[in-house]
A and B are shown apart, each in its own frame.
Chain A
Amino acid sequence: MIRGTVIGHVWATRKARGLDGQTLLLVAACDAEGRTTGRLVVASDTLDARAGEDVTVAFGSGARNVLRPGAADNKDVLCDAAIAAIVEGAE
């Protein structure tokens, strides 16, 4: 997982059926000190994250487990990055 800051919302009308119902947020990846780096990831959101909030983003099968837990049978979930937590503090 990485830390990041939500900076926006991505809208797409023409999309694969598997993306229906997913909220796609634009997340700027942070460096080790928590500063945004300008590198962007599009992550699926189930936690109602808002712009400006710090989040952790899970990739790969971890991201699919956010949307549908169960590593054995969720390979058809069309998601490779998902917001796993909204960060309230870090030190």
Chain B
Amino acid sequence: MILGRVIGHVWAARRDARLQRAKLLVIRPHAIYEPAFATRHLVATDDVDAGVGDDVIVCLGAPARASAGGNDMPVDAAVLGVVDRIDWQGDAMEAPGAGPGIKRALDGVGELARGESASFARRAPSREGSGTL
């Protein structure tokens, strides 16, 4: 799985019959492990009703098809979860090659304290002020 942020929706009137009910989100990955995604975005189906601005867990490949409805689905990426919190340790974001996507993601999240241990929370307006998120 990879982490990413929902940055938009895709509408399509003409689409594969199996995708008629699918909601398609545009995701900017915070990290990439497939060269095919060097475009810095991917389009994923959504199982969990994620919204723009949410940090999400995106699954790629066969599990994404399974999640979207079956092995014959024309899908290769699916949003499987909305991230509440990440407990983050170490200095990976300072490592050589730490992608701009990671830093951008962390910079955008506010209360990150660099150092021994840090965590960041997603900024969903509906959840702000709840403390634990």
- A39 and B90 in contact (CB under 8 A), knowing A12-B81, A16-B81? no
**Bound-state Cα–Cα, A77 to B64, Å:** 10
The chain A residue sitting closest to B105, CB to CB, is A40
Min CB gap A24→B, angstroms: 7
- A37 and B57 in contact (CB under 8 A), knowing A8-B86, A14-B81? no
**Bound-state Cα–Cα, A52 to B49, Å:** 33
Min CB gap A28→B, angstroms: 4
The interface residues of chain B lying within 8 Å CB-to-CB of A41 are 1-2, 31, 33
Min CB gap A58→B, angstroms: 12
Q: Number of A residues contacting the other chain (C-beta, 8 Å)?
A: 42
- A28 and B90 in contact (CB under 8 A), knowing A16-B47, A40-B30? yes
Interface residues on B, range: 35 or more
The proximity string for B residues 89-101 relative to A, scoring 1 for CB distances below 8 Å and 0 otherwise, is 1111111111100
Min CB gap A1→B, angstroms: 12
Within 8 A of A (CB), among B1-55: 1-3, 30-33, 47-50
**Bound-state Cα–Cα, A52 to B87, Å:** 12
Within 8 A of B (CB), among A35-87: 35-44, 51-52, 59-61, 64, 75-81
> Contact between A5 and B92 (Cβ–Cβ < 8 Å)?
yes
The proximity string for A residues 1-45 relative to B, scoring 1 for CB distances below 8 Å and 0 otherwise, is 010010111111111101100001010110100011111111110
- 11 residue pairs bridging A and B, Cβ less than 8 Å apart: A11-B83, A11-B87, A12-B57, A12-B81, A13-B84, A18-B67, A26-B86, A42-B57, A51-B89, A76-B66, A78-B63
Interface residues, chain B, CB within 8 Å of chain A? 1-3, 30-33, 47-50, 57, 59-67, 71, 78, 80-99, 102
